[in-house]
Amino acid sequence: VERCMSSMQTGTQMIKLRGGSKGLVRFYYLDEHKSCIRWRPSRKNEKAKISIDSIQEVCEGKQSEIFQRYADGSFDPNCCFSIYYGDHMESLDLVSSSGEEARTWITGLKYLMAGISDEDSLSKRQRTRDQYPSYTFDEADKNGDGSLSINEVLQLMHKLNVNLPRQKVKQMFKEADTDDNQGTLGFDEFCAFYKMMSTRRDLYLLMLTYSNHKDYLDTDDLRRFLEIEQKMMNVTKEHCLEIISKFEPCLENKKEGALGIDGFTNYMRSPSGDIFNPEHYQVHQDMSYPLSHYFITSSHNTYLMGDQLMSQSRVDMYAWVLQSGCRCVEVDCWDGPDGEPIVHHGYTLTSKILFKDVIETINKYAFIKNEYPVILSIENHCSVIQQKKMAQYLTEILGDKLDLSSVNNDDSTRLPSPASLKGKILVKGKKLPANISDDAEEGEVSDEDSADEIDDDCKLMNGDASTNRKRVETIAKKKLDSLIKESKIRDREDPNNFTVTTLPSSGKAVLKSDSKKNKLEDDVESGEDFSTNKRHSRSLMGSFSKRKKKGSKLKKATSLEEGEDDSDSQGNLAR
């Protein structure tokens, strides 16, 4: 592992893949604090990094969607790996010059990730707290000389929304500048300055309240705090000493049985200081009741990366949600080419993935972090022939994990419990009619499905991708134009007089013109002041005429955009 860390910090030149375009050659390395991956060259400069804390998974080989866009044989699979990071599972897809280099990075990253995931909550929070100064230091060091001037520190304070008096900041800066007062802060000095700046005033005042204005809590002070403030019962001196031993960083305070502000802050930021009951981190409820007695964490359109109309479908999403705690995932199944069932959102431009790949991913990740049963919510649009293929994959891939008890026990009237189904995968879906012929090629199994969520006007039928894309854009532009019209009408409203909710009907407002002026005659509102009505009439008519001119310009621009999009779509199809 140490060799991996050393090699990663030395750095490696690798190719970063970007979908359909050519890859970019970049130099990747692990920073000195082992807290993030950086690369150069990059226009992002200091922002060109991925925090180790944000990495969700490291996958060997050509598993990501980006790799699938390249022809077989383009890269050696042993040299390929993907890093998934962030809340939205973004991927960094890399190709190294050798399989050994790829294994070094995969091993090193998994080691760093394991170090974070195995830490208890306090250690992880402390690690994050200690790493944050390194991020802010690098960002504040504008000239890159490895130290911060007072002006750079002041700019940083402003960026962090820290509202301290300028004189107070200068005083803390001077206290932290210990190397013969050179007028700048190195990294270690900045860490000391950051801790001075980030001491929580509320916790400090709370400590003073229970310590009789001492700068520490002794065991009697701590006991009173725990019983009065934290509502704990029968707190002993031994328990207080355990807290001090665990959370107090100062050895002298530990020996004297005292909890200083840093130790008190550590305790309050730990699980022991949380309002959440630590016993509830594990399942503590009775799990022996039937399944129908529980709320089940479920995922809708699990396979989609984004919206329901044009986003990407990825098998990785099943791995992501299963490891995030979901126990019910959705699989929308449709007939695919070559007799292979596929998964995607019907009547849309979402990409398609193989049903077989989905089941393999579920089989791999279903019980890594949770032993309770997984429910596959099957939305079935397949022909009978391809449904048989689905059944074959389910039984062959899932094996003993597939629960068939309800199939074998038709007389069962009581659902099994989560506890009895640990490690099992259940299939939820509508059965074909019992009287269907064995030779039938079709059979209705779904009355309500995801396709029903889409307006009929928005549904796309099988056909040319370019035509479907133009149809989507046309629908979207109509909706947008309608929203713009409603927005402009509301912007013209005068809340002191009246509210315009719709366009005036032709029967109630008539516009007349002569050589001198325009008049608005309104039979219903005849009692209102004429000048007021005239002003509102001109205001409304002016907005309509402007909208008409803008609409014509928008139409021309739209035609150009459609032309460009058509060419892009054709290019993508060609690729």
List of E strands, 104-190: 148-149, 184-185
Examine the residue annotation and report whether 344 is marked as an active-site residue of this protein.
Answer: yes
**Residues paired with 242 in a beta bridge:** none
Residues 344, 345, 381, 536: which is the catalytic one? 344
- To 10 degrees, the CA torsion angle through 256, 259, 262, 263? 100
Q: Considering only CA atoms, which of 193, 192, 204 is closest in space to residue 268? A: 204
3-state SS track over 52-76: HHHEEEEEECCCCHHHHCCCCCCCC
Instruction: Judge residue 357's burial from the number of C-beta atoms within 10 Å of its C-beta, 0-12 exposed, 13-18 middle, 19 or more buried.
Output: middle
Report phi then psi at 15, rounded to 5: -100, 125
Residues 293, 300, 345, 536: which is the catalytic one? 300
Structure tokens at 102: 């790829």
Strands 49-51 and 36-40: antiparallel
In single-letter form, the type of residue at position 461 comes to: M
- Count of CB atoms situated within 10 Å of the CB of 260: 21
- Count of CB atoms situated within 10 Å of the CB of 327: 19
Distances (CA, A) of 10 to 55, 68, 97, 105, 149: 20, 30, 15, 12, 29
- Count of CB atoms situated within 10 Å of the CB of 375: 20
CA pseudo-torsion sign 275, 279, 281, 283: negative
- Cβ pair 238, 223 in contact under 8 A: no
DSSP structure class, residue 457: G
**Residues paired with 81 in a beta bridge:** 60, 94
318 vs 382: CA distance, rounded Å: 21
The catalytic site residues sit at: 300, 344
